[in-house]
Amino acid sequence: MLQHIARRLLYLIPIFFGVTFISFSILQLSPGDPAELLAGEDATQKDIDAIRQRYGLDKPFLVQYVVYIKNVSHGDLGTSLRTQRTVIREVLARYPATIELAGVSVIIASIIGFFTGIIAANHQNSFFDYGSMVVSLFGISMPIFWLGLMAMLVFAVMLGWFPAVGRGTLAHLVLPAISLGANSAAVIARMTRSSLLEVIRQDYIQTARAKGLAERVVLYKHAVRNALIPVITVMGMQFGYLLSGSVLTETVFAWPGVGRLMVQSIYARDYPVVQGAILLVAINFMLVNLFVDVLYAYINPRIRLE
Amino acid sequence: MDKNEVTIKGESLFRIAISQLRRNKGAMVGGTVVLLFIFTAVFAPLIAPYDPLDSNLDEALQSHSYKHWLGTDEQGRDILSRIIYGGRMSLAIGVIAVAISSVLGVLLGLISGFMGGKVDNVIMRFMDILMAFPGMLLALAIVSALGPGTFNLMIALGVYSVPFFARVVRGSVLSVREMEYVEAAKAIGQSNFFIVFSHILPNCVGPILVLATLRIAIAILNGAGLSFLGLGPQPPTPEWGAMLSSGRTYLRIAPWVATYPGFAIMLVVLGFNVFGDGLRDALDPRLKT
Whole-number pLDDT of residue A149 = 92
Residue A286 pLDDT grade (very low, low, confident, very high; cuts 50, 70, 90): confident
What is the rounded average pLDDT for all residues in chain B?
A: 86
Whole-number pLDDT of residue A304 = 60
**What average pLDDT score do residues B136-159 get?**
89
Question: How many C-beta atoms surround the C-beta of residue B266 within 10 A?
Answer: 19
Q: Is A168 helix (H, G, I), strand (E, B) or coil?
A: coil
Report CB contact under 8 Å: A22, B224: no
- Domains of chain A (ranges plus CATH)? 2-73 (no CATH), 99-256 (1.10.3720.10)
Q: Is B255 helix (H, G, I), strand (E, B) or coil?
A: coil
Do B97 and B272 contact (CB within 8 A), yes or no? no
Sign of CA dihedral B178, B180, B185, B187: positive
Strands (E), A110-245: none
- The CA distances from residue B274 to A158, B90, B114, B207, in Å, are 33, 19, 32, 16
Closest residue by Cα to residue B60 from B261, B249, B263, B265: B249
Distance from CA of B132 to the nearest CA of A (A): 6
Give the ipTM.
Answer: 0.87
What is the rounded average pLDDT for all residues in chain A?
A: 86
Whole-number pLDDT of residue B218 = 93
Quick check: B52 pLDDT over 80?
yes
Quick check: B287 pLDDT over 90?
no
Chain A partners within 8 Å of B37 (Cβ): none
Taking each continuous run of H as one helix and of E as one strand, the counts in chain B are: 13, 0
Quick check: A302 pLDDT over 80?
no
E strand or H helix that includes residue A269: none
Q: Bridge partners of B72?
A: B78
**What average pLDDT score do residues A96-107 get?**
93
Chain B partners within 8 Å of A31 (Cβ): 147
* DSSP calls for B94-122: HHHHHHHHHHHHHHHHHHHHHH-HHHHHH
Partner residue facing B147 (CB), from A31, A149, A289: A31
Closest residue by Cα to residue A273 from A126, A42, A77, A128: A77
Whole-number pLDDT of residue B158 = 93
Quick check: B152 pLDDT over 60?
yes
Do A15 and B129 contact (CB within 8 A), yes or no? yes
| Residues sharing a CB contact under 8 Å with residue B286, sequence separation 6 or more, in sequence order | none
Residue B289 pLDDT grade (very low, low, confident, very high; cuts 50, 70, 90): very low
Longest dimension (CA), chain B: 76
Distance from CA of B217 to the nearest CA of A (A): 8
Tell me the pLDDT tens digit for each residue of A81-91.
Answer: 788 889 899 99
Distance from CA of B266 to the nearest CA of A (A): 5
Distance CA A22, CA B130 (A): 9
Choose between A142 and A40: higher pLDDT.
A142
Amino acid at A267: Y
Quick check: B6 pLDDT over 80?
no
Residue B11 pLDDT grade (very low, low, confident, very high; cuts 50, 70, 90): low
E strand or H helix that includes residue B7: none
Partner residue facing B128 (CB), from A15, A30, A252: A15
Whole-number pLDDT of residue A303 = 63
Distance CA A189, CA A47 (A): 55
Report CB contact under 8 Å: B137, A281: yes
**What average pLDDT score do residues A290-306 get?**
75
Return the percentage of chain B with pLDDT > 70, whole number.
93
Report CB contact under 8 Å: B231, A145: no
Kindly tell me the burial class for residue B10, based on how many C-beta atoms sit within 10 Å of its own C-beta (0-12, 13-18, 19 or more). exposed
Partner residue facing A22 (CB), from B141, B146, B229: B141
* DSSP calls for A222-242: IIHHHHHHHHHHHHHHHHHHH
Helices B240-249 and B79-115: crossing angle in degrees, nearest 10, is 130
Do A126 and B251 contact (CB within 8 A), yes or no? no
